[in-house]
Structure 1
Amino acid sequence: MKIIMISLDSLRAKRLSSYGYTKPTSPYIDKIASEGVLFEKAFASDIPTEVAHTSIFTGKIGLRNGVVSHGSELTTLSKKIDWLPTMLRQAGFTTGAVDNLYQLKEWFARGFRYYTNSVGKTRWIDGHTINELAKPWLKEHKDENFFLFLHYWDPHTPYLPPQEYIPLFYDQNKDPFDQQNRSMESAYNHMAYPFFKHHHFDLLGPVTDADYINSLYDAEIRYLDNKLKEIDHYLEELGIKDETLLILFGDHGESLTEHDVYWDHCGLYDTTVHVPVIMRWPGHIPQGRRVKGLIQQVDLFPTILEAINTNTEINIDSIKIPEDIDGQSLWPSILGQEDGTRSKVYLSECAWQAARGIRTEKYKYIQTFDGGPFTRPQRELYDLSSDPEETINLAETHIELADQFELDLHNWVDTVLQGKEDPMFIQLEKEGLPFRKRIEKILSESGLSWDEWKRNPSRERLDVMTRS
C-alpha cells in the first residue's frame, strides 16, 4: 500500500473549477476529483500553516494539542502526543517527506525515515523543485509500503508563476502598472503593509491593478495543477498509481482583498478556512463522489489509519486509533453511508490576529480577542445562506443568537481545556501576536513605532523611511 499526502499551501477551495470557479485553474485536480471523492465543505479548524499541519498530523485541534499560534517562540508539541508519520513508521511503512516545515518547528520531521528539506535560498519554493526531489524517492521505494508527504508552496505568496501562465487569467491589453488605476491603494496603505512590502509587493513591482495580483494567484494554481499532473503521470509510469491512496488538501485558503485582507491567509472567513480535500484510491473509493456535509482536516488522521487497518492486501501491523483525537473517520461519507462528520466546526487563529469561531451549515460566528493590524468588531455573525460572502454582520441585530454562539464557544473551550490554561491567552499575555512582532521589527528598523504607524499607515511614508 502506498499513501501520498499532498499539502497545497494557501489553496482556496473556491478558486478551483471543481469547487465552482469559472476560470480554468485546475483541470487536472478536477480529473483527480472525478476519479475519487471531493469534500465540498472541508474546513481548517486552525490557521495558518504551522497550526494547520500540526492538527492534521495529530488528529487533534490546536486547543487540544496545545499548538494554536503560528511563528511563536513559546510553542512546543509534546512528544507524548501521537504523530501520524511516527505511527506509520512503527507499523512498517517506509516514511518520507519533501517539505520544509522543519524550518518552522522541529516536530515536522518526526517519524520520517527520509526527510528531504526542500528549503532553498528564498522563502518560496517552486513546484518543480518538489517534483525533482520526490521522483527519485518514489522510484527507489516503489516496491515498498510507503507514506510520502509532499508540500507544494504554489500558490503561496509571493505569486511568481511562469510568465506563460499569466495570459490565461489576465487581459494582455490591460496595463497592471497603469497609474490611473487606484485599486491597490487600500493594500498599500494598510497596517500590514510593512510585512508584505518586503515579502510580496517589492517582488511584483509597482502594480496598480488589484485584479492583476488576483490573476497571478490563479496562474499559480494552474502551474501547481500541471506539477500535480506531472507527479501523477510518474506514478503511472512506475506502475503504482492504482495501489496509491492519494490525498490532496489545502492547509488554509487565501483572502484576495476580501475583509480588508490583501493576499494573505488570516481571518476566520470562508475565504481562508474553507479548503479543498480530495481523495483517490482506485478500487476502494467510488469515482465521482461528492460529500456535501461538513468535515474538518483532523478527520484525515483516523481516515488514513482506518484505510490501513481494513486493507487485507498488505502485510502491515494494524494501528490502534487513539481515543482522544478530534478527528472522525471519513469512510462512512466516502462510501455514501453518511454525509459529513459533524454539524459544526470550531475555528481558531493566533498569528496576525487572535480569534475563535463556529461554522455551521447556515451560520458563521467569530469572536475576536485581538485584531492586530485589523479593525474587527468583537463579535461577528453571518447568515451564510443569504450572505455567503460574509459582508452583513448580524451580531448587533440578532443579539440572542450571537449570545448563544458565544456561550457555545465558551463551553467548548472549557470542555477541551478541562481547567488548563488557555494557550491562546498565554500567547497574548507573554509574547503578543507573532505577526505584530514582525511588523514592529520592520518598523523599528525604519525608525517608526507601532503607534506612529497606526496613526498614519502610508506606503509612501514607509518607502521614504526605508530609503533613508
Structure 2
Amino acid sequence: MKVILISLDTLRASRLGSYGYGKPTSPHLDRIAAQGALFERAYAADIPTEVAHTGIFTGKVGLTTGVVSHGSELTHLPKSTAWLPTLLRSAGFTTGAVDNLYQLKEWFARGYRYYINSVGGARAIDGKTINGLALPWLEEHKDESFFLFLHYWDTHTPYLPPQSHISRFYEAGRDPFDPANTSMERAYNHLAYPFFKHHHYDLIGEVTDSDYYDALYDAEIRYLDDRLKELDDHLEALGIRDDTLLVLFGDHGESLTEHDIYWDHCGLYEPTVHVPVIMRWPGRIPEGRRIPGFVQQVDLLPTLLEAIRKEAPEGIDTAKLADPSGLDGKSLWPAIGGAADGTHDTLYMSECAWQAARAIRTERYKLIRTYDAGLFRRPPRELYDLANDPAETVNLADAQPELADRLERQLDEWVCRKLDGRPDPLKRQLEEAGLPFRRRIEHILQGVGMNWEDWQRDPRRERFDSAAARKAGSS
C-alpha cells in the first residue's frame, strides 16, 4: 500500500474548475477529482501554514494541541503528541517527505525515515523542484509500503509563474503597468506594505493593475496543475497508480483583495478558510463522488489510519495504528461511502498571525470574533448570512444582536470545552508576545527609522520607500 499526502499551499477552493471556477486553472486536478472523491465544503480549522499542518498531522485543532499561532516562539508541540508520520513509521511504513516546514518548527520532521528539505530561494521550492526530488524517491521505494508527504508552494507569493502561463489568464494587449490604472493604490498604501514590499511588489515590478495579480495567481495554479500531472504520470509509469491512496488538500486559501487583504491568507473569510480536499484510490473510492457536507482538515488523520487498517498491507502492524486519544477529526469514510453528508454540523476556526480571531460557521451563518485586528480595521464582531451574502460583505452583528450573542456564546462554550481548564494559548500569545507578524512589521519600520504609530497614521508607499532610501543613503 502506498499513501501520498499532498499539501497545496495557499490554494483556495473557489479557484479550481472542479469547485466551479470558469477559467482553465486545474484540468488535471479536476481529472483526479472525477476519478475519486471531492469534498465540496472542506475547511481549515486553524490558519495559516504552521497551525494548519500541525492540525493535519495530529488530527487535533489548535486548542487541543496548544499550537494556535504561526511564527511564535512561545509554541511547542510535545513529543508525546501522536504524529501521523511517526505512527506510520512505527507500524512498518517507509516514510518520506519533500518539504521545508522544518524551517518553521522542528516537529514537522518527526517520524520520517527520509526528510528531503526543499528550502531555497524565491523560486527554488516550486513544483519543478519538488518533483525533481520526489520522482526519484518514488522510483527507489515503489516496491515498499510507503507514506510520502509532498508540499507544493507554487500558489504562495511571490507569484512568479512562467510567462507562457500568464497569457492564459491576462487579456492580450492589456498593460499591467498602465499609469492610468489606479487599482493597486489601496494595496500599495496598506499597513502591511513594508512586509510585502519585496515578495509582492519588487519582484514583479511597478504593477498598476490589480487584476494582473489575480491572473498571476491563476497562472500559478495552472503551473502547479502541470506539475501534479507529471507526478501522476510517473505513478502510472511505475505501475503503482492504482495501489496509491492519493490525498490532496489546501492548508488555507488566499484572499485576492477581498476584505482589504491583498494576496495573502489571513482573515477567517471564505477565500482563506474554504480549501480543496480531494482523494483518489482506484477500486476503493467511487469515481465522481462529491461530498456536500462540512469536513475539516483534521479529519484526514483518522481517515488515513482507518484506510490502512482496512487494507492491512503485508508487513504493517495495524495494531499500532489505532486512533490516538483526544482526536478532533472524524473519519471521512462514512461520507465517502454515502452514509453521511460530512463530519461536522458546525465548524470552529481560529487564526493568530496578522490578526487574532475565532469564528463559528453554521449551515447559514458565520460569526467572527476579533481579539486583535493587527494591521486591519475590524469590528469586534462580524456576522454574515452566507446563504444570502456568500461574499461576506454585509456585517449583521448590530442589526441582529440576539443571533450574534447566541453564536458567540456557542463559540465561547466550545473554547471552554476544548481548554478544559487550561490557559488559553491565544490570549497568552497576545498578552506575552503580541501578534507575531505585527512584530515583524515593527522591526522593519524601526530599520528605516519609523515607528508603528506614525505608520498607522500615514501608511503611504512613497513615505516608506523614501525613508528606506534615506536610511540606505546614510549607511
- Normalised to the residue count of structure 1, the TM-score between the two structures is 0.99
Q: Which residue of 2 aligns with 1:198?
A: 198
Question: 1:317 Cα shift?
Answer: 1.1
| 3-state SS, counterpart of residue 107 of structure 2 | helix
Change (3 A) 1:403 1:124: farther
| 3-state SS, counterpart of residue 311 of structure 2 | coil
Q: Which residue of 1 aligns with 2:442?
A: 440
CA contact (8 A) 2:122 2:158 kept: no
CA contact (8 A) 2:145 2:313 kept: no
- Structure 2 distance, partners of 1:49, 1:124, is 19
Q: Which residue of 2 aligns with 1:317?
A: 317
Q: Which residue of 2 aligns with 1:384?
A: 386
Question: 1:314 Cα shift?
Answer: 3.5
Q: Which residue of 2 aligns with 1:41?
A: 41
Counterparts of 1:53-452 in structure 2, within 5 Å, are 53-122=53-122, 125-318=125-318, 319-452=321-454
Change (3 A) 1:312 1:87: closer
1:175-221 superposed Cα distances (whole Å, 9 cap, x missing partner): 00000000000000001111010222111100000000000000000
Amino acid paired to 1:229 = K
Question: 1:124 Cα shift?
Answer: 6.1
CA contact (8 A) 1:124 1:158 kept: no
- Structure 2 distance, partners of 1:361, 1:96, is 38
Amino acid paired to 1:192 = A
Tell me how large the CA RMSD over aligned residues is: 0.8
Identity %: 67
| 3-state SS, counterpart of residue 341 of structure 1 | coil
- Structure 2 distance, partners of 1:452, 1:117, is 40
Amino acid paired to 1:62 = G
Amino acid paired to 1:341 = T
- Structure 2 distance, partners of 1:223, 1:115, is 25
Amino acid paired to 2:275 = V
CA contact (8 A) 2:123 2:160 kept: no
Counterparts of 1:8-19 in structure 2, within 5 Å, are 8-19=8-19
- Structure 1 distance, partners of 2:307, 2:136, is 26
Question: 1:120 Cα shift?
Answer: 1.2
- Structure 2 distance, partners of 1:168, 1:458, is 33
| 3-state SS, counterpart of residue 183 of structure 1 | coil
Change (3 A) 1:358 1:124: farther
Change (3 A) 1:90 1:117: same
- Structure 1 distance, partners of 2:59, 2:111, is 15
Amino acid paired to 1:115 = Y
Change (3 A) 1:403 1:123: farther
Amino acid paired to 1:392 = V
- Structure 2 distance, partners of 1:418, 1:65, is 12
| 3-state SS, counterpart of residue 173 of structure 1 | coil
1:43-63 superposed Cα distances (whole Å, 9 cap, x missing partner): 000000000000000000001
| 3-state SS, counterpart of residue 112 of structure 2 | coil
- Structure 2 distance, partners of 1:196, 1:107, is 27
- Structure 2 distance, partners of 1:389, 1:314, is 49
CA contact (8 A) 2:159 2:220 kept: yes
| 3-state SS, counterpart of residue 167 of structure 2 | helix
Segments of 4+ in structure 1 off by > 6 A? none
Change (3 A) 1:8 1:177: same
Amino acid paired to 1:103 = Q
Counterparts of 1:447-462 in structure 2, within 5 Å, are 447-462=449-464
Question: 1:395 Cα shift?
Answer: 0.4
1:279-304 superposed Cα distances (whole Å, 9 cap, x missing partner): 00001000000000000000000000
Unaligned runs of 5+ in 1: none
- Normalised to the residue count of structure 2, the TM-score between the two structures is 0.98
Q: Which residue of 2 aligns with 1:26?
A: 26
Question: 1:312 Cα shift?
Answer: 3.8
Change (3 A) 1:210 1:268: same
Number of aligned residues: 468
Amino acid paired to 2:410 = D
Question: 1:313 Cα shift?
Answer: 4.6
- Structure 2 distance, partners of 1:422, 1:233, is 47
| 3-state SS, counterpart of residue 325 of structure 2 | coil
Amino acid paired to 2:211 = D
- Structure 2 distance, partners of 1:467, 1:102, is 35
CA contact (8 A) 1:268 1:357 kept: yes
CA contact (8 A) 1:124 1:153 kept: no
